[in-house]
Each structure stands twice: as C-alpha cells, then as structure tokens.
A and B are shown apart, each in its own frame.
Chain A
Amino acid sequence: MATETQTARRPVLAVLPRVTGALNRVLTVALLALLVAWLVVNLVQSPSQFGAVALIGLTNGSLYALIALGYTLVYGIIELINFAHGDVFMWGTMITVTVAGTHLGLNGSQSGAVTLLGVLAAMACAMAFCATLNAGIERVALRRLRDAPRLAPLITTLGLSYVLSNAAQFFYGPNYTGIGAVLPGKVLFLNWPEKSLIVILATIPLLLVLTYVVRFTRQGRAMRAVAQDMDAARMMGVDVDRTISFTFALAGGLAGAAGTLYLLDITTTRFDLGQIGLLAFTAAVLGGIGNLTGAALGALIIGFIQAFNEGLSWHAPGEQWTTSIVFSILILILVFRPQGILGQPEADRA
C-alpha cells in the first residue's frame, strides 16, 4: 500500500523515503547507544544490584515468553489477536491456587519430593484447564465468526476478556489470593539461590516440547499448513477446525503453565492479572507476531526492559512508567517495523 502512494508522489518528494530512512537508522542507533550507556553506568555503579535485577528480568522474560507464544500461535494460524489470552493465563494462576493451595495444602513445610510432585500436579491441572478454556473460547465464540469481518472476532475476544476476569472476581473475590511460599530454599537436592530460577528451568523444557510439537509431529505440520493457506490445507485433507482447536489448546496449555510458574514466583494473584497479557502481547509483536522464536526473544527483551526500569537506581523512570514504556515500544515497532525483529515483511498483513 505504502509503495503505491509513494510512487504516485511528485518527483521532488521522491527522495523523502530515502531521507526518512536514513533518519530512522540514525535515530535507532542513537537510542540504542543511549540505552546501552545507561545500562553500563548502572552496571558500574552497583554490579550486585544489576545482577539481581537482570535475574528478575530473565525470570519475567521466561514467563512472558510462555504467554507470548500463546498470542503468536493463535495469530499465526488465524491472524487474530486473542485479547482474552491474558485472562486465560490469570485463570491458570487461580487454578493453581485452588489445586496447590486449597486441595493439596502446599505451604513449604512438606519435603522436597512431595512439593515437587504437588507443584507438577497443580501445573498439570492448570494446563489442562486453560487448554480446555482456550479451546472452548474458540469453539463457542470464534469459530462462527471465522468468515465475519476481521474486527468482529477481535472485539469478541475483548469482551470475553472482561467476562473471564469478572468470573474470576466472582469465584475468588476481589482481593489478592495466593498460596504462600510453596518452594522452600531447597527442592530435592538442589539449593536455589533464587526461587525464580525454577521459572527459567521449567520454561526451557516447555519451549523444547512446543518446538518439537510444531516442527516434528503430524499435528504440528497440520498447524503450519493451515497457517500458510487454510483452503489449500483443507483440500489436502487437513482437518482445519480440529487443527485450530488444537492450536488454541496448545496456547492455553502454555498459559496455564505460565500461571503456575507465576504463582510459585510471585505467590499472589488477583482477578485483574490478565493485564500482564498486554505486556506479553507487546513481546510477541516485538519479536514478530506469528514467529515462535521471535516471541521468546521479544519476551526476554520486554522482561529485561521492565526489570531494568523498575529495579535500577540510576535514572530509571520507575514502576509507574512501565506501561507507558512498553506501549511506546509497541507503537514504535508497529510504526517502523510492523513485522517485528524476526518476522518477514508481508505485503497485505499490516
């Protein structure tokens, strides 16, 4: 679209794209240099603080990666931004509270092996619940809108996000709820320097499994086929509806796992936690929506940005600016590089 209007311009303005292009590059480099300088000053001033903050960034980044992958999987297959995804994640934390806290009564006093098994059971429940929830959303609300104007399903998920968050308020009350410090200093024979590390360690196998499913299984091949061309895939005998359901379930499962990990790390949750989804979504766009590696990369970047902004002491804007910073990044990315860091430019997408 943009190229058509540009070629139609008068010749005097023909150099404009080149000038703005150069300007963009200069500004990008200047901004990045400023960012690096700020980080270096902070590192020199207080290396121990910087290390701790970087670890928080890595933890948050891993969590966001799990959520961002859900956005990117769904977008990749039906080009829909699932606004309800953050609230599916929030339900993951709630289910973990119910299973690990209420039913299993984990509170950190149990032995390492029991804690580990309990946490795994809670995570399995949360993953199953969120997978069902997300697939159910697709089945009930989105499937019948697949041929509707493009904004209709988008608006529907926006409405669903309010419904889900209100339902959580109904069942779990308006206040913070949680499970206390389930993880002791010690899990099995390992001494964690930071309990956050478990988030990172749990994320890696999940990402590996996801990569395996998408790249090497029959169902994963069907997903990629539907993402590329839904009609052609259908003609080749792929069950499109089932594949889309599977994708939603996969995305929901990751969000459920993220919910359990979030709760282990932060220990409290509330009905409006779904707001985090917007951060994860920004991460997915930053990395290149539809691109799995990109989502993970973007999530790490957003995690670090948030942690550095909130944790560093030298000229950091602080927590009250996090939303503005993240959304400024989102806007800048969308305007200057809509395909994201790793995405391929597409003619008719943005």
Chain B
Amino acid sequence: MMDRLHIPKRLQRFVLPAIIIPLVVLYPEYYTQLGTSQLIPTLSTAVVMTVFVTMAVGLNMVVGYAGLLDLGYVAFYAAGSYVAGWFASDQFATHHFVFGAVGVQGNAIGIHVSIWILLAVAALFAAMLGVMIGLPTLRLRGDYLALVTLGFGEIIPQVVRNGDALFGQNITNGVAGITPIDPMGFKYAHGVLPFLPDNFLLTPNLDVWYYRVGLLLVAVTVFCSIRLRDSRLGRAWVALREDEIAAAAMGVPLMRVKTLAYASGAFFGGAAGCFYGTYQGGAIPDNFKLYISTLVLAMVILGGMGNVWGVCLGAAVLSYLNQQGLGAIGNQINSSFGTNIEITKYEAGLFGLIIVLMMLFRPQGLIPSARRKAEFDVIREEAETAGVAA
C-alpha cells in the first residue's frame, strides 16, 4: 500500500501534518458522529486541552530548551486569569470603563476591556512576573533554582487566596474568585465579516468558537516556540542547558538569556490563563494549585523535553485524561466489572507514576528531540564502556 503511494521525498515531512491538522481543526464538525461513548472528548474537554497544550509548550521553552526547572509555572497561569478578572469584570466597582468589551452595557460598573487586548496584556504581565521571579534566581543553578520557583508557585496562589483583604483592599476577592468574566466575541469585526459571531455566549454552541480560538492560541505558541528555538536566542538556551560555564565562556550573556527564557515561558502561560479565565467565566483560586505545575511538567516530560510536537502530544494526552478520560475509563471499568473504584481520586498518583516511569525508562520522552536522543545515546554508550572497563 505504502509502496504504491509514492510521495516525493521533499514532501514527506508534510504528510503527517496534512493528516493531523485537518483532523484537529475540523473536530467540532465530526465529533458527534464518533458515537456516544464517554471516552470521546467533548468540546469543552477539547478547549481545556488547547489551554494545557499552550501552557506545556510555554513551559517547554523554560525546561526543555533552557534546562531551567520551573516548579511554579502555575503562578503565570494564575496571573493571566486574574488579569482577565481585573479588567473584564465588575471587580473594581468604583470604576466605570468599557473598551471594546463584549456583552456589557456602555455604563456598566467595573472595568471591561476587550479580551483580545487582555490576552496580550495578560501575556505581558505574566512575562513581567517571570522576569521578576527570574532576576533574583540568576545566580542560582539547577535544584536551587527549582526551589525558588517552587516557592513562588506556593506564594502566589496563597496571596491570591488571601487577596480579599490586602492592606484593606479587595484585590482578588479571596477564595470565591472573580466571576463573571466577560466572554469573547467579534463585536467590531461582526459588521465587516458577518460570519464571525458578535458574542460567543450567544452562539448556539459556544465551545466551538472557544475551541477555534484555543487552536489559534496553540498555533501561535507553537509557531513562536519553533521560531525561538531556531533563533540565536534559542541556540543560546540550548548552550546554557548543556553547559553553563562553557556557554558563558563562548560569550552567551547568561543573565539576559535566562531572564528571556523565563519571560517567554511565562508569556504563554499568561495568555493561556487569560483564555481559560474567559472561557470558564471566572478566576478561581482552586484552579491554581501547585499540583497544576507538576501536571504541566509531567506533560513536558511525557512528550519529550525540548520537542514541541512531543510536548503537544503529551499535553493533549494528559489533559484529556485529567479532564475527562480518567473518569470515563473509571466508569467503563466499574460498569463492566461491577466494581466501584473512583479512579479520578488517584489521578495525582498516576501522573506521579508516569513521571517516575518516564524518568527511569524513557527520559527522552515519547517523541524525543533529535538532539536529546543523541545525548542519551552518548550517555548510554559511555555507561556501557564504563561498565566494561570496571
């Protein structure tokens, strides 16, 4: 079959994308035909999957490219969500400011800025936060750096949770979170391009439009990630990852390169957080537990640190399991064997196990990047020769 289907060599690398991309983009059109099994991802699961893929690709820039272990990535996700919460809800009731927002009156209380603008604002805010976290850690290396990020990942959610009475100000509305956040929509493009909906909330199936925007976000993130990887900066990151001292000796400005790694990773975390905030219609502290940081890290490790496509795959698989798959599989098992296992309870342990098994048996991930693969081969060869010598 494959022999008869002759594809010119220079086109071969487009075959897989040509199959996968239409399947992904057209998912809302055909998923209802796939049957009624609980295992088929619903559209809302698919939207959350795009959020996690964006985050994982963002974290991959820090962990995979630059080799800086970040255990507090959830901080940027939270920051992005709260930017959406601050500037697209009734949170600051003493202000009256509406700019391009969808679904609110011109004299609404609170600040209401268009989500499209806020996506950029949230990303920049998170990037700024990333620089702020990155700056004091520049002198540190390896595990100490991981600890500082872990610290920030613990502190920021707690500040958010206690933020309803910070110096007498209600900044984050505490555990209740900020809700509702304005929806997305093409209020201004609607006149010119009528097929674009005015307000996603008023469309028959809002998930379809959120899914499309989510995919756009993923596409932009992946594009930026690949372009950054092949840029001068990306090569500096890899040099930094391989040997910090050698990189510095070769003239890589460590401070700037590390800071930019944090900023770029945080940028996409912030954008994902903002998008998730508007999709959920709220910024709620319970969504920003430290556990999310580990989950996103597990996605990066599962997929293959440093490889964008691997990370996309890892993130899609784990976020599907996290959002819907585990529960559905548990229900299937329970109904077919008459058991009563709540498999979702053991999700954290399962992801922990995935991390451990990957680290032990396939540290290069499902789809390793070419460079990583070569490195692990070298390490194995060295170990074998050392074993022979001993």
Contacts and interface: CB of A to CB of B under 8 A. Distances in A.
Nearest to A144: B360
Interface in B240-261: 244-245, 248, 254-255
Interface string A254-276: 00000000000000000000000
Contact of A145 (B147, B154, B352, B360): B360
Contacts of B363: 148, 152
A153 B158 CA distance: 28
B155 interface: yes
A320 B352 contact: no
B144 A350 contact: yes
A229 interface: no
B148 interface: yes
Interface string A276-287: 001000000100
B162 A321 contact: yes
Interface in B121-172: 136-137, 139-144, 146-148, 150-152, 154-155, 158-159, 161-162
Interface string A73-110: 00000011100000000000000000000000000000
**B294, B352, B353, most chain A CB atoms within 10 A:** B352
B140 to A, nearest CB: 5
A217 interface: no
Nearest to A321: B162
B348 A155 contact: no
A151 B69 contact: yes
B349 interface: yes
A147 B383 CA distance: 9
Interface string B280-297: 000000000000001001
A141 B139 CA distance: 30
B147 A330 contact: yes
A196 interface: no
A162 B143 contact: no
A7 interface: no
A87 B356 CA distance: 15
Contact of A327 (B155, B346, B352): B155
A338 B144 contact: yes
B354 interface: yes
A174 B152 CA distance: 27
Contacts of A79: 143
Interface in A140-162: 141, 144-145, 147-148, 150-156, 158-162
Give the interface size class of chain B. 35 or more
A2 B71 contact: no
A80 B142 CA distance: 11
A313 interface: no
Interface of A is mostly: helix
B148 A159 contact: no
Contact of A159 (B158, B345, B353): B353
A189 interface: no
Contacts of A158: 71, 294, 297, 352, 355
A216 interface: no
A169 B69 contact: no
B359 A159 contact: yes
Interface string A113-124: 000000000000
Contact of B141 (A4, A161, A162, A350): A350
A145 B359 contact: yes
A165 interface: yes
B255 A5 contact: yes
A163 B254 contact: no
A25 B212 CA distance: 54
B24 interface: no
A320 B161 contact: yes
Contact of A155 (B144, B148, B351, B355): B355
Given A156-B360, A324-B154, A335 B349 contact: no
A328 B297 CA distance: 23
A335 B346 contact: no
Contacts of B146: 81, 151, 154
Nearest to B242: A149
A147 B140 contact: no
A1 interface: yes
A167 interface: yes
A328 B155 contact: yes
B108 interface: no
A323 interface: yes
Contact of A335 (B148, B161, B298): B148
A320 B162 CA distance: 7
A85 to B, nearest CB: 14
Given A163-B356, A324-B158, 6 more contacts: A147-B383, A159-B359, A162-B351, A162-B355, A165-B349, A338-B144
The 6 closest A-B pairs by CB, nearest first: A166-B349, A162-B352, A159-B355, A327-B151, A159-B356, A159-B352
22 contacts: A1-B245, A5-B248, A141-B356, A145-B360, A151-B143, A155-B301, A159-B352, A162-B294, A162-B352, A163-B352, A163-B353, A163-B356, A166-B352, A278-B154, A320-B161, A323-B155, A323-B158, A327-B150, A328-B155, A331-B136, A334-B148, A350-B140
Interface of B: 67, 69, 71, 136-137, 139-144, 146-148, 150-152, 154-155, 158-159, 161-162, 244-245, 248, 254-255, 294, 297-298, 301, 345-346, 348-356, 359-360, 363, 379, 383
Interface of A: 1-2, 4-5, 79-81, 141, 144-145, 147-148, 150-156, 158-163, 165-167, 169-170, 174, 278, 285, 320-321, 323-324, 327-328, 330-331, 334-335, 338, 350
